Structure 1
Amino acid sequence: METITYKIFTAVAELPKSWDGVSHDNAFLQTPYLSVLEESAPTNMQCFYIGIFEKEELIGVALAQYLNLNKLESFGERDQCMKTYVRNFVFKNFASHALFLGNNMITGQNGYTFNTKIEVQKIGQILKQCAQEITSYFQKQKIKIHIVTFKDFYQEGASELKNAAFSEMYEFNTQPNMIFQLKSEWKTNDDYVAAFSKKYRDQYKRAHKKFDGIQTRELSLEDIVLMEDRIYQLYFYVAKNAPFNTFFLAKNHFSAFKKQCGNRFVLIGYFLNNELVGFYTLLLNGDTLETYFLGYDEHIQKEKMLYLNMLYSMTKFGIENQFKKIIFGRTALEIKSSIGAEPIRMSGFIYHRNPLINRYFDKIFPKLEPTLVWQQRHPFK
């Protein structure tokens, strides 16, 4: 560790010129996406960009995000029950200032990347030091960080971290990341549909029949700017009806994304009688297709099965453009499994800066998690 140092930046313009060379394998750590965050992060979020150096050479980059949950009007309105009220009270009063080492806006191991091999234990030590420095930064501003979270890690890396740098932290597993490994023999969407068992092929046909009358097209930057209010209205309906939220996107987020990332960011609009009734977004990340935020009109969604048709459309895009896998994230697990995605367990590590609360975190945290009951579907022959 004696030759490895780090520097924390608060502006993309300050980043070393070699930043994108180091982060070339992950679009979520490259400067175009970081510029999206800088231009249109949620109003309750502040981002920090971490450069990791060996001597004077940049060898790794990482992202940290501070969230002020006091600025949220709602944590999510779908589940109105006593457990939800208790959870919201606890978060508001004991966890309202949160620091994430990683990206709290997406699912997947997108918190850091290196261009050289480095032990997971060393990575953990660096991330902990960065967390301490950012915590001190806020302390000087009279802001007390309540909780520090390190997210998301696939199981091999999580096990190594648990045995070393993160041994004293509470390891948590929330909903799994739904990932669809696309088969190399699928060259067209017809190949994919032919692989379904009869039950799921019938589901596909039924969804497409319901979809009749909907026109779809990819929106340009000019289109997105023109329809920004409607896009946000559709996004916000879905977001506020999620079981739990720690942020809401800024209204200009999608236009900022298109402006910064160009053809690597795709927004597909769904129209009925020339009115935008739904949309979904994708980020092209090497050989991985990343699904991003979406939105829809509640009534049209039910009538036209918009959400299921969106999932089929994303899959078709992935197959026809020869992606190896699609990251579908950690919501709507059952319906995503019905189109072929499979659950991949991911871990995070968390600690509370109040020693008494932290001591009992293993008992407190599970009680705050929404109970999740779902059945994995197996759609292929």
Structure 2
Amino acid sequence: MFKKEMYKKIKSKEKYGFLIYSKASELPELWDEIAKENCFLKREFLGFLEDVNPCKQRYHINIKEEIILLDYGLKIDIFTFKKGFSLKFPINIVGIPLSVSSKGYSYMDDKGDILSDYIKKTMKAVILLNSDDKLKLTKGHTLSDFELSIRWSSFEDYLKSMRSHYRYRTTKALKKFEGVRVEAVSRNEFSKNLYRFYEEVYERSSSKLEKLSIDYFKKLPATILVFKDDDRELGFVQLKEAGNKLYFLFCGFDEDLNKEYDLYLNMIFHIIKYSIDHGFRLLSLGQTTEDIKSKAGAYEIDKYLYFSSKYKVINLLGNIFIKALSYKKQSQSYRVFKA
């Protein structure tokens, strides 16, 4: 545990019991303890993001109460989840400066009220993303997360466990992928063509946040699988391991070939196969494309966003616009497996 005497040696701004840092390298070791299993909130990963995706990150830690949070600046479209509307507004985000479903804060025990009060008192205008906690802030919905518990010894067992309708659908898709090779490439081999696939997926997305540079893919220690037919690249997926959990982070693919190969669906099935073959217990398939992931057997985890401002007028506007900021769930529940 972090020694009390070391507290006096820390030079940083302080507000309401929180120390504020601008560099992850300056954070005390206690930060990682409070982050717990959230690999995207660890100091090493945050330092990596400073390098590949700098966006005025700030790190807040309350040593006494054992609370941490990360916020960063971003100009967002407040109607991100509403088609036909657009209004970009500079705001702070409490979250990971990366399009993942993990939280940008953590605390020991039940300290949500202290976190809420700190945000209310200090932040001009902030959206807190991907929460699964009850906080005393204006609440809305954000994109749900989708996870799959891995309980099969092989991909064949996964198929056998499906109800007939879903097994037929899966088998039909897999036939379109016969002859496609899957190759693991090093991050240094991540090509401009693969990055172009990522850019195309990003531009098609209806829920854009930050766009990552090619350096992100070239520098992050992660698994990159490339799908090829002969020498033609069809697409790729990026996967990150964290103990017994596998995260599907990003992908890119040739939209013109999606129907011919059932490309995106087959990429999801291959990620599931990869997680089974490599002994993972839990697969995080992330947010978006809810229907496809649900029909592959993933279960939905509700996620919430919160809005707050220390200014009363902005707070009132936030209460009015929270519905515009919120995401309306589109997924349905499916009985994919026999039991």
Residue 120 of structure 2 is aligned to residue 120 of structure 1:
no
1:219-256 deviations in Å (ceiling 9; x for gaps): 113312xx1x1122100100110113122112211112
DSSP 3-state at the match of 1:171:
strand
Between the two proteins, what is the percent identity of the paired residues?
23
Q: Is the 8 A contact 2:61 2:69 kept in 1?
A: yes
Give the alignment partner of residue 266 of structure 1, picking from 223, 227, 250. Answer: 223
Q: Is the 8 A contact 2:120 2:309 kept in 1?
A: no
Pairing 1:1-381 to 2, within 5 Å after superposition: 5-23=17-35, 25-41=37-53, 45-54=55-64, 59-69=66-76, 84-85=83-84, 87-88=85-86, 91-92=87-88, 96-103=89-96, 105-114=98-107, 116-128=108-120, 132=122, 135=123, 147-154=125-132, 157-158=133-134, 161=135, 166=136, 169-183=137-151, 186-224=152-190, 227=191, 229-258=192-221, 265-351=222-308, 355-356=312-313, 358-367=315-324, 369=326, 373-381=330-338
Tell me the CA shift for residue 360 of structure 1: 4.7
Q: Is the 8 A contact 1:337 1:378 kept in 2?
A: no
Superposed CA RMSD in Å reads: 2.8
* CA distance in structure 1 between the partners assigned to 2:195 and 2:311 by the alignment: 38
Tell me the CA shift for residue 332 of structure 1: 0.7
Matched AA of 1:284: E
More helix per residue = 1
Q: 1:113 to 1:321 in 2, by over 3 A?
A: farther
Q: Is the 8 A contact 1:107 1:177 kept in 2?
A: no
DSSP 3-state at the match of 2:56:
strand
Q: Is the 8 A contact 1:60 1:113 kept in 2?
A: yes
DSSP 3-state at the match of 1:65:
strand
* CA distance in structure 2 between the partners assigned to 1:17 and 1:373 by the alignment: 41
* CA distance in structure 2 between the partners assigned to 1:367 and 1:118 by the alignment: 30
Unaligned ranges ≥5, structure 2: 1-6, 8-15
Q: 1:60 to 1:369 in 2, by over 3 A?
A: closer
Q: Is the 8 A contact 1:173 1:347 kept in 2?
A: yes
* CA distance in structure 2 between the partners assigned to 1:35 and 1:275 by the alignment: 35
Tell me the CA shift for residue 17 of structure 1: 4.5
Q: 1:150 to 1:188 in 2, by over 3 A?
A: same
DSSP 3-state at the match of 1:46:
coil
* CA distance in structure 1 between the partners assigned to 2:321 and 2:110 by the alignment: 34
* CA distance in structure 2 between the partners assigned to 1:11 and 1:179 by the alignment: 32
DSSP 3-state at the match of 2:207:
coil
Tell me the CA shift for residue 197 of structure 1: 0.9
* CA distance in structure 1 between the partners assigned to 2:319 and 2:173 by the alignment: 43
1:152-180 deviations in Å (ceiling 9; x for gaps): 222xx22xx2xxxx2xx320013321222
1:141-162 deviations in Å (ceiling 9; x for gaps): xxxx5x31122222xx22xx2x
Q: 1:84 to 1:8 in 2, by over 3 A?
A: same
What's the TM-score, normalizing by structure 1?
A: 0.76
Matched AA of 2:91: A
* CA distance in structure 2 between the partners assigned to 1:60 and 1:119 by the alignment: 7
Unaligned ranges ≥5, structure 1: 136-144, 259-264
Q: Is the 8 A contact 1:10 1:49 kept in 2?
A: yes
* CA distance in structure 2 between the partners assigned to 1:200 and 1:117 by the alignment: 41
Q: Is the 8 A contact 2:307 2:322 kept in 1?
A: no
* CA distance in structure 2 between the partners assigned to 1:242 and 1:347 by the alignment: 20
1:188-244 deviations in Å (ceiling 9; x for gaps): 2222111001111112211111012321111113312xx1x1122100100110113
Q: 1:200 to 1:220 in 2, by over 3 A?
A: same
DSSP 3-state at the match of 1:84:
coil
* CA distance in structure 2 between the partners assigned to 1:64 and 1:9 by the alignment: 11
Tell me the CA shift for residue 371 of structure 1: 5.5
